[in-house]
Amino acid sequence: MANEDILKKIISHCKEYGFVFQSSEIYDGLSAVYDYGQNGAELKNNIRQYWWAAMTQLNENIVGLDSAIFMHPTTWKASGHVDAFSDPLIDNKDSKKRYRADVLLEEYIQKIEDKVNKEVEKAAKRFGEKFDEKMYRETNPRILENSKKIDGVNLRMKAALESNNLSDIKLLIEECEIVCPVSGSRNWTEVRQFNLMFATEMGATADGSSKVYLRPETAQGIFVNFLNVQKTGRMKIPFGIAQTGKAFRNEIVARQFIFRMREFEQMEMQFFIKPGTEMQWYNHWKEKRLKWHLAMGIPENKYRFHDHLKLAHYANAACDIEFDFPMGFKELEGIHSRTDFDLGNHEKHSGKKLQYFDTEENKSFVPYVVETSIGLDRMFLAIISQSFCEEKVVSGENGEEAGERVVLKLPPFLAPVKVAVLPLIKKDGLPEKARIIMDSLKFDFRCYYEEKDTIGKRYRRMDAIGTPFCITIDHQTLLDNTVTLRYRDSMKQERISTDGIGEIIKDKVSLKQVLSRL
C-alpha cells in the first residue's frame, strides 16, 4: 500500500476511535491545530509520563519544572528568536502555494538518495552473496555522479542559509529544476524570511499593553529559571531540568497531520555542564535517548541519527533522531549542544548573573548546555503508525469471528485502556459479577466496561483502540470464579481464575518493567 494511503488510514482511524480530532471541526477546522479525544488524551498522557519518569525519576540529578507559556518579551530577543527564528519561504505564482525553500531542496536531495538506494538494492539482488556494497557505492559511475550532486546541493544550501543569501537559494531551486508539486511549474517568487513566532498583546489598554509571544519552545523557561532551580534544589553540575508543555509556531507549511502543527507539545531537558565536557555529554544523551525509544519495543531499524548540516543559531553540535514515519524518515527528536549561548545572552540582556559557583575549583562560570527535545505529538504519531495493523483473522480460531481486524499493537503500558471487562450476555447475573471484577481492578488499571453487542464485535472495538486484555465473564464464572482472558496480539484465550488476573495484567502493562530496561 502506498505510504500516503497508510497515513490517510491512520488519520481516519484516529478520528473514528477518539484519538485525534481536527480542532473546531464544526467550523471546518483550524489548519494544523488538533484536539486529542478520549483515547488520544490517555495515550498522550502515558507517553508523557514515560518520558517524565525516565528523566526525573531515574536520574537523581534531573528535576522537573512547569514554567509559563508567556514570558517577558526580552527573553525572545536574548534567545535569538526575534531576529533569527524564521524559515525561508517561497511561493509558486501559478498554484499560489507556499513552501519552505530549504524543504524543497531537501526533498530534491531525498529523491536522488532514494534513486541511489534503489540502484544499490537492485545490484545487491543481482550479485547475491558476492555483493560488496561499499565497493559498489565507491566505484559505480552513476552512483558517484549522484552522490556528487547531493554533496554539491547540500554544501551550497548550507552556505546560503548560513550567510542568509536568499537569492542563491532561489537560484539553486531553479538550477535543480524543482517544480511546484501542485502546478508543475517553475514560476517561483523570490525567497523571503518569515518569523515563526505568534505575537499577542498583554494588558487591557492600547497604551499600557505590550507585545508578548506565545513561546515557540519550552527551553527558554528552563534557562531563565536556571539559578532558581539550582539554588533552591542545591543542584550540583552536571544536572538537568526537564519540562513538558505547549509550544507555538506559525509554520509555513503545516501538513502531514500531527507531524507539523501550529500548537504542539514538547518534552525538553536542558543538561547543565562544565564547558569543555559538551561532546562527552552530547554523546551520552544521544545514546540514552535512543535507548528510551527502543525500550518501548519499537524495532531499531525504525530509527536513525541524522547529523545537522545547518546548525541552529545556538548550537555547536546537533543531530536528530529520525523515525520511519509513513511519510519516510523524519525528525522526531533533536539533541543539541547549545554551548553557553542561552545563559550567556540572558545574562547580557537581563544584567543578572546566571553563573554556577564551583566549590571545588572556587570559581564561577556560565555552564554549557546539552539539550534533548522531543515533540510529544510526533512521538504520538510515531507510536500510532508503528502500532497500526490490518490483519486477516482465521475462521473460528478461539471462537473469534472470521474476517479482517484493525488492531493497534500499542506497547501495553501506553494503551489508553488496559483491560476491558465484558459480560458475555446482559442477564443471568453476569453484569453484576463483571462489575465486581471491574471494581477489584479499577484502582490499578484503566478499565472499560461494556455489555452491548456480540462478544466478537466488542473484541474488535478493543483491538482498534489497542486494549491489551479483555476479560469475558460467562455462566461458568458464576460457578467456579474463572473467566476468559483474551490477549490482543495473539488473540489467544485462556481460562483463568479471577484471583490471578491482576498479576498477569500488571506484569505486562506496568511502566516499571519498561523503565527497568533503561
Chain positions contacting ligand ATP, by CB under 6 A = 217, 249, 251, 260-261, 264, 266, 331-334, 373-375, 377-378
CB closer to ligand ATP, 341 vs 445? 341
CB closer to ligand ATP, 161 vs 374? 374
Nearest-angstrom CA–CA distance, 102 and 13: 32
Question: Which position's Cβ is nearest ligand ATP?
Answer: 375
CB closer to ligand ATP, 237 vs 311? 311
CB closer to ligand ATP, 56 vs 372? 372
Say if strands 239-248 and 62-64 run parallel, antiparallel, or are unpaired: parallel
- Decide: helix, strand or coil at residue 238: coil
CA–centroid distance for 397 within its chain:
37
Angle at 216 between CA 214 and CA 218, to 5 degrees: 100
State the minimum distance, in angstroms, from the CB of residue 158 to ligand ATP. Answer: 15
Residue 448, by phi and psi: left (phi above 0), alpha (psi -120 to 50) or beta? beta
State the minimum distance, in angstroms, from the CB of residue 380 to ligand ATP. Answer: 10
Matching residue, cell 533533536? 334
β partners of residue 64:
242
State the minimum distance, in angstroms, from the CB of residue 320 to ligand ATP. Answer: 7
State the minimum distance, in angstroms, from the CB of residue 189 to ligand ATP. Answer: 21
| CB within 8 Å of 370: residues ≥ 6 apart | 270, 271, 273, 278, 281, 282, 285, 335, 336, 337, 338
Q: What 3 state SS string does 213-272 have?
A: EECCCCHHHHHHCHHHHHHHCCCCCCEEEEEEEEEECCCCCCCCHHHCCCEEEEEEEEEE
Angle at 149 between CA 145 and CA 154, to 5 degrees: 150
Say if strands 419-423 and 469-473 run parallel, antiparallel, or are unpaired: parallel
State the minimum distance, in angstroms, from the CB of residue 266 to ligand ATP. Answer: 5
State the minimum distance, in angstroms, from the CB of residue 248 to ligand ATP. Answer: 9
CB closer to ligand ATP, 180 vs 258? 258
HSE value, Cβ hemisphere, 13 Å, CA-based, for 118: 7
Nearest-angstrom CA–CA distance, 423 and 421: 7
CB closer to ligand ATP, 331 vs 391? 331
CB closer to ligand ATP, 374 vs 485? 374
State the minimum distance, in angstroms, from the CB of residue 333 to ligand ATP. Answer: 5
Please report which residue ranges of 166-251 form alpha helices under DSSP H. Answer: 166-175, 219-224, 226-232
CB closer to ligand ATP, 374 vs 408? 374
State the minimum distance, in angstroms, from the CB of residue 381 to ligand ATP. Answer: 9
